[in-house]
Amino acid sequence: MAAGLLTVIVGIVTQWFFSQRQYQDRITRLSDIQENLRQATFAMARELKTGRQVIWPRVNPDQSPRTDSVLVFKNFRGAIVAFFHRPAERKIRRVVIPNGPGMPVEDTAPLGDGIASLTFTTMGPDNKLVSLHLSTEGVHHLDAVRLVNE
Amino acid sequence: MPSASSTNNPPPSGPRRPRGVAMFFVLGIVAVMVPLLLLFSMIGSSQAKQAMHFHDRITTEAIAWSALEAGIARLQASGGADLVSGSLSEVDYQFSLNPTGTGMASQALFNVFARSQKGPFTYIYLTVCEQIPRSPLAPADPNPVITHDFWGTVQNYDITQAFDCVAIANARGADYLEWERTVTYEQDRTDAEYRAALLGKASGLPPEVAANWSAIVDELARQKAVLTP
């Protein structure tokens, strides 16, 4: 009888454990995606915030926002920097184009990994407000950065 | 007469039922506790720790930026040289208003430093502020403050020490000189030369950027620095 009761309890606990584990895996997965999107945004925003000019994309002639998957700007040091999304690799890459002699150099490490889509939207009359929209597996992250330097 | 074997048998040690119940409880507790321990260990996994690690970084940076804005607000409210320390969401922050002189329009010049630290993370921002005296006709208005050259570092400086403030300003100055070099490079070239130099870099660009490079060069040439007479 004791063995029978023990079997029932172990069965219930095992089922509960596996259902909790599945639930935990799902929560952890969503949390990881959110953290990943935030981390990629953070990596871009740090340099972008103290940048000087957004070169690409430009707001439309009627001042309406414009969206692209490539962002080109001049950073604090005056170098031309491009952030772009590579869909096949699901990565965000950064390339520095010297504003002077020298050829472009792409960073070996990506700014973000496991990102399904990324768009940059510029807005405002001075083209200095950039909205970042990232998404992966139905999880979306939206943030905006304003360039504070001239 | 009893046999030798029956004489050597130990006496019964009590009813067997309590021992079975005890074993049942022990095994039951083990069956419950082991999955629970596994579950708790999953919750406290390295992934969760990494998420908290990154959360702390973002929080620290955001608070450093808020401290910088608080410093600028202090100047708008007629503040002068000052050092303020506080904490927000259990994260320590400081901002320091360091006068650097007087401008040509009699405006007061300041280096405003802001620092935030939590655990191993340190963020420091520096900006230059020009504090223009408010009009005597509108004494309730804030002082206009012009801010420029925002710069940040993750190096661990102590902004309460003049020596470290100079070191921060010097580090910012190195980046500032690099920026001046690029401006000079643009000024020293005609539009056609600048455009040709940029178009020559197309072969080294990733295809995602190269696709729009011609239009990007147009914009770069339009924004090229020129020498003002």
Whether B110 is covered by a domain: the verdict is: yes
- Residue B64's pLDDT band, with cuts at 50, 70 and 90, is very high
The total number of structural domains in chain B stands at 2
Answer with the one of B113, B142, B159 that is the final residue of a domain. B159
Residue of chain B minimizing CA distance to A59: B219
User: How confident is the model over B96-146, as pLDDT tens digits?
Assistant: 999 999 999 889 999 999 999 998 889 999 999 999 988 888 888 899 999
Do B59 and B106 share a domain, yes or no?
Answer: yes
How many C-beta atoms lie closer than 10 Å to residue B54's C-beta? 15
Do B111 and B197 share a domain, yes or no?
Answer: no
pLDDT at B8: 58
**In Å, what is the CA distance from B212 to each residue of A69, B161, B196?**
11, 48, 16
Give the ipTM of the model, two decimals please: 0.84
Using alpha carbons only, how large is chain A's radius of gyration in Å?
A: 23
Whether B42 is covered by a domain: the verdict is: no
The verdict on B33 touching A (C-beta cutoff 8 Å) is: no
- Residue B43's pLDDT band, with cuts at 50, 70 and 90, is low
Do B62 and B150 share a domain, yes or no?
Answer: yes
Do residue B28 and residue A49 have CB atoms under 8 angstroms apart?
no
How does pLDDT run along chain A (150 residues), one tens digit per residue?
Answer: 777 888 888 888 888 888 888 888 888 888 888 888 988 999 999 899 999 999 999 998 888 999 999 999 999 999 999 999 999 999 999 999 999 999 999 999 999 999 999 999 999 888 999 999 999 999 999 999 999 998
Counting every residue, how long is chain A?
A: 150
| Predicted structure pTM score | 0.79
Phi, psi of B104 (to 5 degrees): -65, -25
Answer with the one of B159, B181, B213 that is the final residue of a domain. B159
How many C-beta atoms lie closer than 10 Å to residue B181's C-beta? 14
Q: Are A93 and A106 in contact (CB under 8 A)?
A: yes
Whether B28 is covered by a domain: the verdict is: no
- Specify burial of residue B14 (Cβ count, 10 A radius: 0-12, 13-18, 19+): exposed
Query: Tokens 């909205």 — which residue?
Result: A131
Answer with the one of B107, B142, B159 that is the final residue of a domain. B159
Whether B15 is covered by a domain: the verdict is: no
Cα–Cα dist B138/B131, whole Å? 16
Whether B177 is covered by a domain: the verdict is: no
Do B82 and B152 share a domain, yes or no?
Answer: yes
Cα–Cα dist A53/A75, whole Å? 7
Residue of chain B minimizing CA distance to A71: B209
Q: Are B178 and A78 in contact (CB under 8 A)?
A: yes
Q: Establish whether the linkage from the previous residue to A57 is cis, with ω within 30° of 0.
A: yes
Question: Whole domain around residue B197: which residue ranges?
Answer: 191-222
Query: Quick one: three-class SS letters along A76-106?
Result: CCCCEEEEEEECCCCEEEEEEECCCCCCCEE
Count Cβ–Cβ pairs < 8 Å, chain A vs chain B: 128
